[in-house]
A and B are shown apart, each in its own frame.
Chain A
Amino acid sequence: MIRFLLLFSRQGKLRLQKWFTPLTDREKKKVIRDMTMLVLPRPPRSSNFVQWRDLKIVYKRYASLYFCAGLEQHDNELLALEVLHRYVELLDKYFGNVCELDIIFNFEKAYFILDEFLMGGEILETSKLAVGATMEEADTLQETMEEYMSKPAY
């Protein structure tokens, strides 16, 4: 499983943090610090994989953002690169030519999209179209009058 997914800028400013295991605030801060220190200084044409503690770190830079995931030993690193790429594609489709500012000003949407793609550290949906369709419907739900729910049916 993926243990965590972090998005941070080239200055090390955190733009998104998703944790798939329970950690204290202090532990989270330590991981974030370690990841930025591990990834940011790496030269441009390095491999995208680094061993850190007992995890495999897979990272990829997209424009001004670093996407960084911590994997367990039996996870497939090459596939993890595809996972990061897929997330970027989903963001791109939703925001239209996504850039860092989109993720800053609409961070909650970035989380909602992520939650339709990954869950519990595993891939939830493998179809781009399906995730896109879900986001549209959920957004519509949020905006229309239907958001005033009648009492739930059991």
Chain B
Amino acid sequence: CVLHLPLQEMIRAIRSARTQCEERGVIQRECAAIRAQFRQADNGGRSHNLAKLLYVHMLGYPAHFGQMECVRMIASPRYSEKRVGYLGAMMLLDEKQDASLLITNSIKNDLSHSNQYVQSLALCTLACMGSAEMCRDLAPEIDRLLRASNSYIKKKAALCAVHIVRKVHDLGELFAPAARSLLAEKNHGVLHGAVVLITELCERNPETLERFRKTVPDLVQIMKGLVISGYSPEHDVAGISDPFLQVRILRLLRILGRNNEAASDAMNDLLAQVATNTDSTKTVGNAVLYETVLTVLDIKSESGLRVLAVNILGRFLLNNDRNIRYIAMTSLQRIVGTDHNAVQRHRGTIVDCLKDQDASVKRRALELSLALVSATNIRSMMKELLLFLSSCPLELRAQAASGIFNAAERYAPSQRWHIDTILHVLTTAGGDVRDETVPNLIQLITNTSELHCYTVHKLYRALLSDISQQSLVQVACWCIGEYGDLLLRGECQETEPVQVTEDDVLDALETVLQSHMSAPATRGFALTATMKLSTRITDNVDRIRSIVSIYGSCIDVELQQRAVEYNALFKKYDHMRAAVLERMPVIEKNSPGHTNGESTREAVKEVQPAKVKQAETLLPQQPASQVCDLLDLLGGSEEPLQPNPAVGSTLPVLPVSTSSTAGGDLLDLLGGLEPTPLTPAPTVTVYEKGGVTLTLSSEKQSDSGLTVTLTACNSTDSDISSFTLQAAVPKSVQLHMKAPSGDSLPARGAAKVTQMVALSNPNKVNLKMRIRISYTSQGSAFQDTVQVDSFPEH
């Protein structure tokens, strides 16, 4: 006996099933009944039957056997059956199913049905799942309906046309004329559909966009009508008249006004009016304001209007509603490059949002805060960012750490601050930093020779308290290996004095070596550091000898190899040990081995064996055979080799023999490591008039960053005062002018004024800079402008 339940009883039965198994049983029974019903002749209950199947489908059960029934129902003359049939088609069929083709004919017929509700079903279904072929087939019919029907059908035809254009782009041309005339309609549904259609057409075809620019006055009129009109009950939402239509019009205006002065002018007043008069106490008003702000910032608006827009965003930042704060930040993010100073004014509020409870808001605040870091606010911003890092959600830590590093590198007010900042990050979030942080930090430390003592003390203390953060431990081990002698001396200018014995230091390194928390690479660092200490300590060399000898049988092959080689360094090559383990030379910045990102990673892995080559060239006294042995000995180790021991830590003079060029790639990597004297940055004279000379030199900082130094000089016989420089660059280039050295140029070139400008050119546009020079001389003001079209690269 087959159970046959009307729809609602079936739903009740399914819901009262106590287990998944029971539910499946009910469903199976019902589906069997449904299938049986499908096979029967027309009995008036077909729509309920199909509806039951659709419910079952929504629960996640297979329902494909109902597809053909949908096709049959759609073809039925009964509206109730058509209604459920079309619904079923939209739920069970999509353009990828073959069965969908079968309904094309029904749709075609129903589009011209005498009853608008039947037409509506066809239009809706076509817009929902019409394939490209169906769209091509039925497009002329839709165009007809766009022109000659009632409002109800016109609005549906308009959105149907939108779907068609999305599926078959060329058909846009077909609908353009009808779309244009629809703007004259009064019915809001039709207007809305028309605006959406025109937007779609303009976004897809630049020529169409050109033609539709003529509609800007019409759109402005319609918008004015909505904004000024009195209360209209049908369209009112919390005091705003048809906010949905307003937002769409604003969006269309944005597309039409972009990059076009005339169109932007034509809409300027309207935008100002909407921005000022829209009630912002409820979400709906803010939705309109939001769209207005986006439009103002994207078109060629007047500066006054732009300021108004940014101020609205500033108000949004203070709104109690988290959603409003969130979208304010996404909008400010978009303009932080172009309207940097305007956004800077809201920095305080943005930084406060770092403490927001909501994860989405926090993320936005982080991105925006990082974009707002500058030389003037670096200290206070970094305080906030480090505070954020210590409590931020896990998914944001890597981004925060990397942002902090970038900011520190760009704007560090002092090297000690820079090192402290990196150490702070490593302590807080060491597990989330990128691999190249370790070599970058090592380079930084090496080059800050006056802070070696301070750094090694600090790192030693960090090592004592926590050895779980691998990057921190690696850097600490390296430092202790390098500067262990400074650690043992006990006194240090910048930190409190502390007594550290040789055993203390070796204990610390051995703890790292033995800990299960240490990664293999970290243990390698620890072992090498231990070895290096053999030339920096006096009493406990035997202890080192025994450590090294024990690890000679370590299971970890890498460690074993090192230990064996270090053992050999103790025995057969003991006479070279001091030279081999000497202090590292200062590494030149911006050398090929030390740029950010990928190349650094490769370079560092290569740099250690490459140093082997350096030893080859730097120890000319060694007979050739012994040098070769050295190479074999230290083939794969990270052992940094030292220059001529007689020279110590100053840059030795390299005998650049032919042997230094042999070795190919490795030595090319080493190119920057060879201690050659730094060549001065090339300078060009960009301005020379009335005795005032302006020279420019530039230095590449990174892939997209350039630092320009402007130097001014006065060769006249009178002093110059109030000397200022202003600069302008292409739109996508970010520019930060640092404080000038002064503003007076004494006569006869007695002193110069320098000013540095940091440029960021992420889009790699052709870099140009216009400089305005202003100054006062002998009581009169002078002003001049010069354009620089090319920059000398260092």
A binds B: yes
B677 within 8 A of A: no
The distance in angstroms between the C-alpha atoms of A105 and B359, with both chains bound, is 37
Distance in Å from the Cβ of A78 to the closest Cβ of chain B? 4
New contact pairs (18) apart from A49-B323, A77-B323, CB-CB < 8 Å: A22-B94, A22-B96, A45-B357, A46-B322, A46-B358, A78-B287, A78-B290, A78-B323, A86-B237, A112-B83, A119-B123, A122-B159, A124-B159, A126-B192, A127-B188, A149-B79, A149-B115, A153-B112
Chain B 98-118 per-residue mask, 1 if CB under 8 angstroms from chain A, else 0? 000000000001101111011
How far apart sit A120 and B157, CA to CA, in the bound complex (Å)?
A: 11
Sample of 10 A–B contacts (CB below 8 Å): A22-B94, A47-B323, A49-B327, A78-B284, A108-B87, A111-B87, A122-B196, A125-B188, A149-B79, A153-B112
Quick one: which of A81, A112, A119 has the most chain B CB within 10 A?
A119
Q: State which residues 1-48 of B face A: CB under 8 Å.
A: 8, 11, 15
Select which of B189, B247, B327 is within 8 A of A125 by beta carbon: B189
0 or 1 for each of B234-261: is its CB under 8 Å from A? (1 = yes): 1101000011110110010000000000
Contacting pair B114 A152 (CB below 8 A): yes
Residues of chain B contacted by A82 (CB below 8 angstroms):
237, 243-244, 283-284, 287
**Contact between chains at B112 and A154 (CB < 8 Å):** yes
Minimum C-beta distance from A51 to chain B (A): 7
Give the residues from 168 to 193 in chain B that come closer than 8 angstroms, CB to CB, to chain A. Answer: 188-189, 192-193
Taking CB as reference atom, which chain B residue is nearest A82? B284
Neighbour of B155 across the interface among A46, A77, A125, CB < 8 A: A125
Which residue of chain B lies nearest to A89 when distances are taken between CB atoms in the complex? B237
Contact of A98 with B by CB under 8 A? no
Interface residues of B (CB under 8 A from A): 8, 11, 15, 51, 54-55, 58-60, 77-80, 83-84, 87, 94-96, 109-110, 112-115, 117-118, 123-124, 127-129, 152, 155-156, 159-160, 162-163, 166, 188-189, 192-193, 196, 233-235, 237, 242-245, 247-248, 251, 283-284, 286-287, 290-291, 322-327, 357-361, 363
A interface, over-half SS: mixed
A82 to B286, CA, bound (A): 11
User: Which one, B8, B11, B192, B360, contacts A123 given CB within 8 A?
Assistant: B192
Known: A81-B323, A126-B192, A126-B244. A14 touches B58 (CB 8 A): yes
Name the one of A16, A20, A124, A149 contacting B78, with C-beta atoms under 8 angstroms: A149
Check B79 against A79 for contact (C-beta < 8 Å). Answer: no
A-B CB proximity, top 6 nearest: A78-B287, A153-B114, A120-B127, A47-B322, A79-B287, A120-B163
A76: interface (CB < 8 Å): yes
Q: What does DSSP make chain B's interface, helix, strand, loop or mixed?
A: helix
Q: Are A20 and B128 in contact (CB under 8 A)?
A: yes
Which residues of A lie under 8 Å from residue B322 when comparing CB positions? 45-47
Contacts of A86 in B (CB 8 A): 237
Contacts of B115 in A (CB 8 A): 141, 149
When the two chains form their complex, are residues A78 and B159 in contact, meaning their CB atoms are under 8 A apart? no
Q: Contact: B359 with A46, CB < 8 Å?
A: yes
How distant is the Cα of A130 from the Cα of B359 in the complex, in angstroms? 39
Rounded to whole Å, the gap between the CB of A9 and the closest CB of chain B is 12
- Least Cβ–Cβ distance between A128 and chain B, in angstroms: 8
Nearest-CB distance from A112 to chain B (Å)?
Answer: 7
A113 to chain B, nearest CB (A): 12
Q: Which of A22, A51, A107 has the most CB of B within 10 A?
A: A22
A17 CB-CB contact with B under 8 Å: yes
Q: Is B237 touching A17 in the complex (CB atoms < 8 A)?
A: no
Contacts of B286 in A (CB 8 A): 78
Inter-subunit contact A17/B58 (CB<8 Å): yes
Determine the residue in chain A with the shortest Cβ distance to B113: A152
Residues on A with C-beta less than 8 A from B287 are 76, 78-79, 81-82
Known: A22-B129, A46-B359, A47-B326. A130 touches B87 (CB 8 A): no
Closest to B8 in A: A105
**Which chain A residues in 84-142 approach chain B with CB under 8 Å?**
86, 104-105, 107-108, 111-112, 115, 119-120, 122-130, 134, 137-138, 141-142
- With contacts A20-B128, A47-B322, A50-B360 taken as known, whether A134 is within 8 angstroms of B87 at the C-beta atoms is no
Q: Let me know if A142 and B189 touch, CB within 8 A.
A: no
> Nearest Cβ distance between residue B513 and chain A, in whole angstroms?
43
What is the bound-complex CA distance between A129 and B325, given in angstroms? 33
- CA of A127 to CA of B241, assembled, Å: 10
In contact, B327 and A147 (Cβ under 8 angstroms): no
Contact indicator per residue, chain A 52-73, by CB within 8 Å of chain B (1) or not (0): 0000000000000000000000
- The distance from the CB of B45 to the nearest CB of chain A, in whole angstroms, is 14
Chain B nearest CB from A43 CB (Å) reads 7
Contact of A47 among B54, B163, B284, B358 (CB under 8 A): B358
- Give the shortest distance, in Å, between A79 (CB) and chain B (any CB): 4
Give the complex CA separation of A77 and B361 in angstroms.
14
Nearest residue in A to B58 (C-beta to C-beta)? A14
Q: How far is A76 from B283 in the complex, measured between Cα atoms in Å?
A: 12
Quick one: which of B112, B118, B326 contacts A149, CB cutoff 8 A?
Answer: B118
A21 to chain B, nearest CB (A): 9
Q: Contact between B124 and A138 (Cβ–Cβ < 8 Å)?
A: no
Which A residues touch B357, using CB under 8 A? Answer: 43, 45-46
- Tell me the bound Cα distance from A23 to B522 in angstroms: 48
- Is the beta-carbon distance between A81 and B290 smaller than 8 angstroms? no
Contact A137 B155, CB 8 Å, known A43-B357, A107-B58, A120-B127: no
In the bound complex, do residue B159 and residue A138 qualify as a contact, i.e. CB atoms below 8 Å apart?
no
B110, B233, B358: residue with the most chain A Cβ atoms closer than 10 Å: B358
| Shortest distance between the CB of B293 and any CB in chain A (Å) | 11
CB-based contact B283/A81 at 8 Å: yes
CB-CB under 8 A from A77, the residues of chain B are: 323, 327
A16 cross-chain contacts in B, Cβ below 8 A: 58
Contact of B117 among A29, A76, A130, A137 (CB under 8 A): A137
| B244 and A142 contact, CB distance less than 8 A | no
